[in-house]
Structure 1
Amino acid sequence: MIRLFIRQYISMMLFVIILQLLLNLILFLDKGFHDVSLLYLNIIWFTLVAGYFSLRYVKDRKMMKPYVKFKGNYFDVIHEDYKEQLANKNAKVQEQKQIVLERQDELLAWVHEMKSPLTAMQLLLEKVEKSEVKERIENEWLRLYLLLDQQLHATRLMTIELDNRIEKVHVKDVLIQEIKALRTWCFEKKIAFDLEVDDLTVHSDTKWLGFIVRQILSNAVKYSDVGGEVRITAHMTNEQAVLIIQDEGIGIKSEDLPRVFRKSYTGTIGRETSAATGMGLYLAKQAAESLHILLAIESTEGVGTTVKITFPKMNDYQKTLGM
């Protein structure tokens, strides 16, 4: 322990010794200090220096104790130890990343396996005669499909930069496709859609844009009253494409509104009905940010909810691809 302490402060100790020798030399050569006791001054000086290094040693020995076995001074040892710990941490991080990727692949494989029987069920349902039981089965099938789709995109969201293709997308085509996917649910609740959509084309990823729209439309249908209406408009504003989806549902409480995009946040209504997972809007928000799309929500409890989707004028993908 003492050896490590000396190695650490050897330069300071040498400086103090040299300084003391110079002071003694000056006092010895200068006749004005002949009456001063050199022994007395040296004792005082030594006492102060020894006291300082003793306090320093008492304070530092606890920190130095783990590094006594190493060679070199304390700071060099700490630096080497830090580099070693950092390397170990980086290795563990890489190991955890690999585990996450493996689990992600397993989850993707599971979702795809689950989609196969769902597709088979859909084909079988098409052959069943129309009845109330068939409608209920179709609705439950749709709920299951949406949950699996949500899980699939949640898994892919971690690598969205590797899973997108920016191209020209017709907004109206995406809307019609997603409305058709929800038609059995809409028939059950007698939900009507009012579309006032210009012939808008945006640069985005068709699949991820469809996912974003799907989450918003499914919420609009889920929280609308029977016989309600969902109004969809799309237009250009300040050289930006804007898509607005407005429902006449139960709305969102004012205290819940600032937190609707938080992960797993279901809100007051979601907890009361147990119909929400708290993931839909969160995933939609994350995907939108990756595509440089702005999502904004306005809602009044008992009146309805309005979701505004604003596309960028020229996003980073367009600049990169020279579109």
Structure 2
Amino acid sequence: MIRKYITEKRSWLLLLAALQVIIIFVAFIDSAIPLLPVLYIVLLNTLLCLAFVFLRYSRETRFYKSLASWDQIYELQAVLDPGSPMERLVHEAVSAQTDRYKRESFMNVQLLESEKDELLAWIHEVKTPLTAMQLMIERLPDETLQRQMMYEWLRIHHLLDQQLHQKRIPFIRNDLFIEKVSLAPILNKEIRALKSWCISKRIGFDVELDAETVLTDGKWLAFMLRQLLTNAVKYSEASDILIRSREEGGHVVLVIEDSGQGIDPRDLPRIYDRGFTSSRFRQEGAATGMGLYLTRQVAEPLQIRLHAASVLGQGSVFTLTFPRENDFQRLTGM
């Protein structure tokens, strides 16, 4: 700050120095003026100017130091009150800019909230004809056509479900209800939803739950399992998907293992990135790159550790490690 202060006052300091040089020059060329007293006066003037600059430095930089340490939030309490007309001018300009940003931010938040509510309402409205469409598809006499249409129906259904939860995830902490949840009913419901797709692909499920109860939010856990099971079915063919749970070190561990196409080792570190889709084994644009990204977004507030392992061409294993009860107690400060 002192270097900036000297730079700011450089013109004044140069003016004072020039005046002292002029006094010495006049005394040097005019023999009637004794040089030694003049030098003494110049020395006193210089010391007085340095003392003045030193004393004024602290006072004149307090406001700007507080402004430099300001954390750029919308409140100016951390900034000291201005002590000079120029400081007041700066303070008024910053206050006016801050007020404008507040208004714009509030309007943008209101607009985003409105768009979110409209989109969620639209998604809920679309689900009604989708349900009716499912019933009509189930009545089709042609089984091949029925399977094809059911597959497309499932794609639409899951895309809408992803969009719905994607809009809710930023507010997930306000929507969590942590309790002891049984894994079996949630898994059974999600497997039944994929039944027609699994039948057409000759895929079965082998479920063995040694640990049946976890501490989590049932609704959001169902969404996570939906994404993982959908991926397992999508990239598998004529094989079983193994679902196991066990207790390990006080944690419940749930493992979902498929024998599908697997994940390229180069892609494995990026599977949770938003919008990332592998360059291999794409199903003609069926992949959106959002399923695993949203799964990771939900896992973080639920304190669920998510781990993926895969061998290309042999399948993938996703492991969910659930928190213990005292983990949530430390999190909430109970």
* TM-score, with length taken from structure 2: 0.74
Asked whether 1:127 is paired with 2:126, we answer no
Q: Which moved more, 1:118-127 or 1:100-109?
A: 118-127
Counterpart Cα distance in 2 of 1:38 and 1:295: 84
Aligned counterparts, 1:56-67, within 5 A: none
Counterpart Cα distance in 2 of 1:72 and 1:93: 31
Q: Confirm or deny: 8 A CA contact 2:211 2:247 kept in the other structure.
A: no
Q: Which moved more, 1:82-91 or 1:286-295?
A: 82-91
State which of 116, 124, 129 in structure 2 corresponds to 1:104: 116
Sequence identity percentage: 39
Asked whether 1:39 is paired with 2:38, we answer yes
Asked whether 1:307 is paired with 2:318, we answer yes
Match of 2:288 in 1: 277
Unaligned runs of 5+ in 2: 1-7, 21-33, 54-81
Match of 1:266 in 2: 277
SS of residue matched to 1:214: helix
Asked whether 1:201 is paired with 2:213, we answer yes
Change (3 A) 1:241 1:164: same
The offset of 1:297, in angstroms, is 0.6
Residue 252 of structure 1 aligns with an amino acid whose one-letter code is I
Q: Which moved more, 1:243-252 or 1:160-169?
A: 160-169
Asked whether 1:232 is paired with 2:243, we answer yes
The offset of 1:277, in angstroms, is 0.4
Q: Confirm or deny: 8 A CA contact 2:235 2:261 kept in the other structure.
A: yes
Q: Confirm or deny: 8 A CA contact 2:307 2:320 kept in the other structure.
A: yes
State which of 180, 198, 211 in structure 2 corresponds to 1:168: 180
The offset of 1:301, in angstroms, is 1.1
The offset of 1:95, in angstroms, is 1.9
The offset of 1:295, in angstroms, is 0.7
Change (3 A) 1:211 1:111: same
Change (3 A) 1:79 1:271: farther
Q: Confirm or deny: 8 A CA contact 2:232 2:241 kept in the other structure.
A: yes
Match of 1:91 in 2: 103
State which of 276, 293, 302 in structure 1 corresponds to 2:304: 293
Counterpart Cα distance in 1 of 2:333 and 2:133: 41
Change (3 A) 1:317 1:221: farther
Give deviations 1:7-54, integer Å, cap 9, x for gaps. x97xx99xx9xxx9xxxxxxxxxxxxxx763334556887997xxx9x
Residue 300 of structure 1 aligns with an amino acid whose one-letter code is V
Residue 309 of structure 1 aligns with an amino acid whose one-letter code is L
Asked whether 1:139 is paired with 2:138, we answer no
Q: Which moved more, 1:205-214 or 1:82-91?
A: 82-91
Q: Give the aligned length.
A: 276
Counterpart Cα distance in 2 of 1:298 and 1:214: 19
SS of residue matched to 2:214: strand
SS of residue matched to 1:244: strand
SS of residue matched to 1:269: coil
Residue 100 of structure 2 aligns with an amino acid whose one-letter code is N
Unaligned runs of 5+ in 1: 1-7, 21-34, 54-69
SS of residue matched to 1:207: helix
Change (3 A) 1:317 1:115: farther
The offset of 1:166, in angstroms, is 2.2
Counterpart Cα distance in 2 of 1:205 and 1:130: 40
Give deviations 1:169-206, integer Å, cap 9, x for gaps. 11121111111111111111111211111251112111
SS of residue matched to 1:254: coil
Counterpart Cα distance in 2 of 1:318 and 1:110: 39
Counterpart Cα distance in 2 of 1:210 and 1:202: 12
Counterpart Cα distance in 2 of 1:44 and 1:187: 99
Higher normalized contact order (CA 8 Å, seq sep 6+, divided by chain length): 1
Counterpart Cα distance in 2 of 1:269 and 1:41: 86
Q: Which moved more, 1:175-184 or 1:80-89?
A: 80-89
- RMSD over aligned CA atoms reads 3.2
The offset of 1:158, in angstroms, is 1.6
Counterpart Cα distance in 2 of 1:216 and 1:104: 26
Change (3 A) 1:210 1:74: same
Counterpart Cα distance in 1 of 2:248 and 2:185: 20
